[in-house]
Amino acid sequence: MNLIKVFAYLLLPALIISGCGTKKYSSVGENDEIIVICDSKECKLFQPELKAIFEKEIATPGMEKLLKLSYASIEQLSSFNRRKNLILISTLSSTGETIQQIKEILGETNIQRVQAGENFFYQIKNAWAYGQILLVFVANTPDELKKRLLENKNTLLNIFDDRLNQIALSELYIKGEQHELAREILTKYGCSLRLQHDYRIFYESEEERFFILFRDIPKRWITVGWFETDEPSLVTRDWCFEFRNKIFDKFEGNEEIDTRYTTVDEVDFNGKFALKLTGLYGGTLENGWPKVYGGPFRSYFFYEPADKRIYMVDYSVFAPDREKKDILRQLDMMVHTFYTEKDFTKKGK
DSSP 30: -
Q: Give per-residue pLDDT as tens, 207-224.
A: 999 999 999 999 999 999
84/210 same-domain check: no
Domain boundary residue among 171, 188, 220? 171
65/158 same-domain check: yes
17/66 same-domain check: yes
91/150 same-domain check: yes
Q: Indicate the number of domains in the chain.
A: 2
* Helix and strand numbers, DSSP H then E, in the chain: 9, 20
Domain boundary residue among 155, 171, 187? 171
152/202 same-domain check: no
Q: Give per-residue pLDDT as tens, 136-156.
A: 999 999 999 999 999 999 999
Domain boundary residue among 171, 202, 227? 171
Structural domain boundaries enclosing 275: 179-347
Q: Give per-residue pLDDT as tens, 35-51.
A: 999 998 899 999 999 99
The enclosing domain of 295 has a CATH number of: 3.40.1000.10
157/186 same-domain check: no
Instruction: Give all strands (DSSP E) within the chain, no chain letters.
Output: 4-9, 14-19, 25-26, 33-37, 57-59, 63-65, 68-72, 85-91, 121-125, 129-130, 133-139, 191-192, 200-205, 210-215, 219-228, 256-269, 272-284, 292-304, 309-318, 339-340
Predicted pLDDT at 7: 33
186/130 same-domain check: no
118/20 same-domain check: yes
